[in-house]
Chain A
Amino acid sequence: MSVPPPLSIRVPGTVAGIGEAAAAFDAFRAAAAIADEGAWPVQVVLDEVLANIVHHAYAGRGDGRIDLTFSVSPTAITVVVADDGPEMNPLALPEPDTTAPLEDRRVGGLGIHLVRRLMDRAEYSRRDGRNCLVLVRRFGAGAPTDPSKA
């Protein structure tokens, strides 16, 4: 696989910013020839993490910014996400009940549940007044890249 250098971007902490981040990851993964199989868990998790920041940490704030860094190695994709909202560790949120009957189901917590389940590693830290999440998805046993896109 071609291993592109890490890509760092800053997007607004808004719904439009989530779209910008998704587009930036699409470009990054195209450059790295990462197949759909390797990319989709990161795409889903990126949406969960950014939506959480936009709707909670930056709720009611139009001036928030989110910093992202995408990097890839032959074995894994790593995404680092930082925001300067109030201290909030999403990974500490309680697990949702994913077995309750329909009438008792809640969507709250489901996004972070997907983050935990889809990432091989997820770590939160509070650094210099910023929330920082490190997310790692290892490539499976199959080929991590799509030869047709290399």
Chain B
Amino acid sequence: MDILQESLNGVSIVAPAGRIDSTTSIELERAVGGALATGRQLVVDFERVTYISSAGLRVLLMTAKRLGGGKGSLVLCAMNDVVRQVFDLAGFLPLFSIEETRELAAAKAAGA
């Protein structure tokens, strides 16, 4: 899986591409783990993600739990309709801070 990682004003951005499923979620898990090793403000950018299955939801849930309790922040952004529908079916929309763009997401993560 192609995953771009960068830092925007001190916020780690993880931007995977393609499908986040049971064959690729381990790579997202590693990328997120790597990003959290250097900072506690994280954005996962879904702009290039086509769809996500529960294997990917698991990684995001674990990350949100890890950052819970004010120890950091996780903001998601740029979800397509398919990803949003899966989040909705899973009841995940209320659990996450979700923004339209990476810039808005980074600003939100930095301010949290």
Contacts and interface: CB of A to CB of B under 8 A. Distances in A.
Nearest to B20: A47
A77 interface: no
Interface in A41-59: 43-44, 47-48, 50-51, 54
Contacts of B95: 102, 105
B91 A99 contact: yes
A107 B54 contact: yes
Given A22-B23, A51-B22, A102 B58 contact: no
Given A18-B22, A19-B23, A114-B89, A47 B65 contact: no
Contact of A107 (B50, B51, B61, B86): B61
Nearest to A117: B89
B64 interface: yes
A24 to B, nearest CB: 13
Interface residues of A, number: 26
A50 B57 contact: no
Interface size class of B (residues with CB under 8 A): 20 to 34
Contact of A44 (B23, B53, B58, B61): B53
A118 interface: yes
B82 A48 contact: no
Contacts of B91: 98-99
A12 interface: no
Contact of B55 (A19, A43, A47, A113): A47
Nearest 9 pairs between A and B by C-beta? A98-B91, A51-B22, A111-B54, A107-B58, A47-B53, A47-B21, A110-B54, A19-B23, A117-B89
Interface of B: 19, 21-23, 50-55, 57-58, 61, 64-65, 68, 82, 86, 89-91, 95
25 contacts: A15-B23, A22-B19, A40-B51, A43-B21, A43-B51, A44-B21, A44-B51, A44-B52, A44-B53, A47-B55, A48-B53, A50-B22, A51-B22, A51-B55, A98-B91, A102-B65, A103-B65, A103-B68, A105-B65, A110-B57, A111-B53, A111-B54, A111-B55, A114-B90, A118-B89
Given A111-B53, A111-B55, A114-B86, 11 more contacts: A22-B19, A36-B50, A43-B21, A44-B51, A47-B23, A54-B22, A102-B68, A102-B95, A105-B65, A107-B54, A117-B89
